[in-house]
Structure 1
Amino acid sequence: MVLQRHGDRGQAVVDFDLDAVAYLCSDAGEQALRDVDAYPLTDATRIADVASIRREFGDRAPTLVETVLLRRRAAAKFADASHWLFTDDALQQATAQPVAQHRARRLAGAIVHDGTCSIGAELAALRDSAGFVVGSDIDPVRLAMARHNVGDVPLCRADALAPITRDAVVLADPARRASGRRRFDPLDFMPPLDQLLAVYRGRDLVIKCSPGIDFVALAGLGFDGEIEVTSLGGSVREACLWSASLAEEGVRRRATLLDQEEEITDAEPDDCPVAPAGRWIVDPDGAVVRAGLVRHYAARHGLWQLDPDIAYLSGDRLPDGVRGFQVLDEIAFSEKRLRQALSAHDAGAVEILVRGLDVEPDPLRRRLKLRGSQRLSVVLARIGTGTASRATAFICRPSR
């Protein structure tokens, strides 16, 4: 039997069972998926399409429609997900393929046990890099999907908190969702993070976590390894915990920027000055900011900080491949002065970046009511401390 519920975005979500997975893996199920994939299933056609699919496939229709839609969504994470099976929660938590491949490269040649393998996203990357890989999961439905997705990898059903390997590197991605709802407290993960750390203490261990995890709380749980924050496609994707035995000597924090093929660690120099804006303003990649490596990034690229407590950087040239903002004007910020300055620069459309000020970009943009022809950027920041601090607006031309 297949049940439907509503996810955290309000949409109907199918809860798969083993019978549904077996059907989808059968010749009849695979042909049915090809037939259903021919339907547009857009917002405009969904009702009529589902009615047609239900007439043809009866009670199998929800399973087929959900799988086709999940495969289409998976294109944002996988190069080719056209033959994969997913659940909604598993897809939302699945590692994007380039991120999984990066992690697999760090584990090249190792024996790796993915103890929470889910539908097999990490296994697909590991099997091409690791010396040997095995997967396990406590959820029989996700494990059945993994057998379909990565059938050449040895799999078994097991609880991650009951170790089944001895000398392997253990990879874990504890569930941070339940029935479509996010879990924010690491003690509410499944399995709980504190228990994972305790069970595998002294082992080579890699744990994928959400990027917003509290670094101080991790130290309180006894974690003393490396925290790697990874970005892809302009957004921060995850924080990965590497046991000290797998970390580079002296490294406790790392920012990995997959788009720029760049990594920065806290073992690098951070001698970065604070100075007024130069030709360019740079808003560092979110992984750099989240990992607390803004000064290290600035020192590497010859940049400086506008303020010691604000992540905006400045310099007279841009790092290669980095989007920046060429400073055209600098004013004390107020809406009236900003509107006048933007009008003088013939601005008709602006993007607004804010750090250190209680300003909402979208409402401000609407209130400015600009009518010029230029596309510009506005960088807002509080510069200075205490009574000497000032809200400042930099009117800029984006590099791209």
Structure 2
Amino acid sequence: MPFAFSVPDVGFLTSGAGRAALAAFVPGGDPLRDVAAARRLVGEERAAALLETALLRSRASGRLPDDWLWTADALEQATALPVAEHRARRLAAVVADGRVVHDVTCSVGVEVAALSGVLDRVVGSDLDPVRLAMARANVPGAWLVRADARAPVTRHAVVVADPARRTASGRRVRRPDEMTPPPASLPGPDLVVSTAPGLDFALVPWAREVELVSLDGGVREAALWSAGLVPGGGPRRRATVLRSSGGGYEVTDLDDDTCPVTDVDQWLVDPDGAVVRAGLVRHYAARHGLAQLDPHLAYLTGPRPPSGTRAFRVLEHGPFSEKTLRQTLRRREVGRVEILVRGVDVEPDRLRPKLKLAGPCAAAVVLARVGRGARAFVCETVTTPGSQR
């Protein structure tokens, strides 16, 4: 059970004594010794708050501001900073000067901080007094108020929201009416809502654009944009691929999707998950001169892979059978294998021991349904240099 901060805990942590204690306290990994050290620094009453804050800052380090205050749930649910900054830039491009942008589920302030970096009038609100107190410490000078997201304290604002995607018991929800708060209950009409990538988008007909966003290869969210925030003639579907190191690219349903279906070429390319979930595989293929192996398969093929992507150089391929694959890997002296499966009823962890791998070499095996049959592609994995645009 994570530690439950109180508002007085936050008050102490933001005081001079609390800041000095946080600067001096470094957990050593031994729970009993760490608790004893925290008690010596700040006493029994505040020791747990000090220890929990130090541990959460350690977890946040390298991906979120590591000098912020967090609760365990707030850190787990926090929008990745590059994703929040991307959304803020998009909003800055379409929001008229002087108009308020209101994050109605601001938590400890990640979105508010990103929005404040590019917009002049930003408001954050939350019902949780502890998270709001932390946000005031994390984003000093921000306009923050305690309020229910469904009862707005601003008028005619652009609303940003990130509803909870789990129930109180921890179950992940897939329907918008199960989120807290439900997107349909939020004030409009100009609205951008961060939701789970697996959402059934047919259940949110108000969304003019659905944007799937990935960061460093992992799909982070589906952002729902209302019509007033999408310029006229804009796309209905967008895949945004971000990298922590900078760069990235976008694909939309306005791009050309002329893409042939061919036999396998020298390379297999597995598009980013945001491209796949947004239904933009053909558009991505057309941009890079690739072809599909099968109209229902996300794997693409071509004579060269796009720059800055993970691809598979095809060494040999054929109809899939365990016996044939085992013989091929043995002949190639493959002792380590990555198994990727699309459209084939195979569990990699069950297949791997049956292959009886032995040898100094590594390979990737792609098992995919092409046409009516399963095929195996034995490949070399390569990350191509450069960055896509």
TM-score (norm 1): 0.89
The match for 1:212 is: 198
Q: Which amino acid aligns with 2:195?
A: C
The match for 1:258 is: 242
The match for 2:127 is: 138
The match for 2:387 is: none
Q: Which amino acid aligns with 2:90?
A: R
How many Å separate the matches in 2 of 1:76 and 1:189? 29
The match for 1:188 is: 178
- Give yes or no for contact 2:27–2:55 (8 Å, CA) kept in 1: no
Deviations 1:42-98 (A, max 9, x none): xxx2333224334553132221111111111112531x322x111111111111111
Of 8, 23, 26, which aligns to 1:34?
Answer: 23
Question: In the TM superposition, what is the alpha-carbon distance from 1:191 to its structure 2 partner?
Answer: 1.0
Of 240, 244, 248, which aligns to 2:223?
Answer: 240
Q: Note if 1:124 corresponds to 2:113.
A: yes
- Give yes or no for contact 1:379–1:394 (8 Å, CA) kept in 2: yes
How many Å separate the matches in 2 of 1:285 and 1:178? 29
How many Å separate the matches in 2 of 1:344 and 1:254? 44
- Give yes or no for contact 2:27–2:51 (8 Å, CA) kept in 1: no
* Superposition pairs of residues 271-290 of structure 1, within 5 angstroms: 271-290=258-277
Q: Note if 1:328 corresponds to 2:311.
A: no
- Structure 1's 363 and 48: CA in aligned 2 closer, same or farther, altered over 3 A? farther
Question: In the TM superposition, what is the alpha-carbon distance from 1:392 to its structure 2 partner?
Answer: 0.6
SS in 2 for 1:227: strand
The match for 1:95 is: 79
The match for 2:386 is: none
- Give yes or no for contact 1:89–1:180 (8 Å, CA) kept in 2: no
Of 37, 55, 73, which aligns to 2:59?
Answer: 73
How many Å separate the matches in 2 of 1:64 and 1:214? 41
The match for 1:368 is: 355
How many Å separate the matches in 2 of 1:114 and 1:281? 42
How many Å separate the matches in 2 of 1:296 and 1:73? 38
How many Å separate the matches in 2 of 1:270 and 1:168? 37
Question: In the TM superposition, what is the alpha-carbon distance from 1:102 to its structure 2 partner?
Answer: 0.6
How many Å separate the matches in 1 of 2:334 and 2:210? 42
Unpaired runs of at least 5, structure 2 = 384-389
How many Å separate the matches in 2 of 1:143 and 1:182? 25
How many Å separate the matches in 2 of 1:373 and 1:347? 6
- Structure 1's 177 and 32: CA in aligned 2 closer, same or farther, altered over 3 A? farther
- Give yes or no for contact 1:77–1:95 (8 Å, CA) kept in 2: no
- Give yes or no for contact 1:89–1:179 (8 Å, CA) kept in 2: no
SS in 2 for 1:15: coil
How many Å separate the matches in 1 of 2:77 and 2:201? 20
Q: Aligned-residue CA RMSD in angstroms? A: 1.7
Unpaired runs of at least 5, structure 1 = 1-5, 7-12
Of 44, 47, 50, which aligns to 1:64?
Answer: 50
Q: Note if 1:338 corresponds to 2:322.
A: no
How many Å separate the matches in 1 of 2:216 and 2:380? 22
How many Å separate the matches in 2 of 1:271 and 1:277? 18
Deviations 1:210-231 (A, max 9, x none): 1121112223xxx231111111
- Structure 1's 296 and 392: CA in aligned 2 closer, same or farther, altered over 3 A? same
Of 145, 153, 159, which aligns to 1:164?
Answer: 153
Identical residues among aligned pairs (%): 55
- Give yes or no for contact 1:134–1:154 (8 Å, CA) kept in 2: yes
Matched length: 372
SS in 2 for 1:393: strand
Of 278, 298, 304, which aligns to 2:285?
Answer: 298
How many Å separate the matches in 2 of 1:151 and 1:30? 15
How many Å separate the matches in 2 of 1:47 and 1:267? 58
Question: In the TM superposition, what is the alpha-carbon distance from 1:352 to its structure 2 partner?
Answer: 0.9
- Give yes or no for contact 2:214–2:221 (8 Å, CA) kept in 1: yes
Of 16, 27, 38, which aligns to 1:53?
Answer: 38
Question: In the TM superposition, what is the alpha-carbon distance from 1:178 to its structure 2 partner?
Answer: 5.1
- Give yes or no for contact 2:34–2:51 (8 Å, CA) kept in 1: no
Question: In the TM superposition, what is the alpha-carbon distance from 1:182 to its structure 2 partner?
Answer: 4.1
- Give yes or no for contact 1:89–1:177 (8 Å, CA) kept in 2: no
How many Å separate the matches in 2 of 1:338 and 1:70? 46
TM-score (norm 2): 0.91
How many Å separate the matches in 2 of 1:335 and 1:154? 62
- Give yes or no for contact 1:108–1:131 (8 Å, CA) kept in 2: no
SS in 1 for 2:3: strand
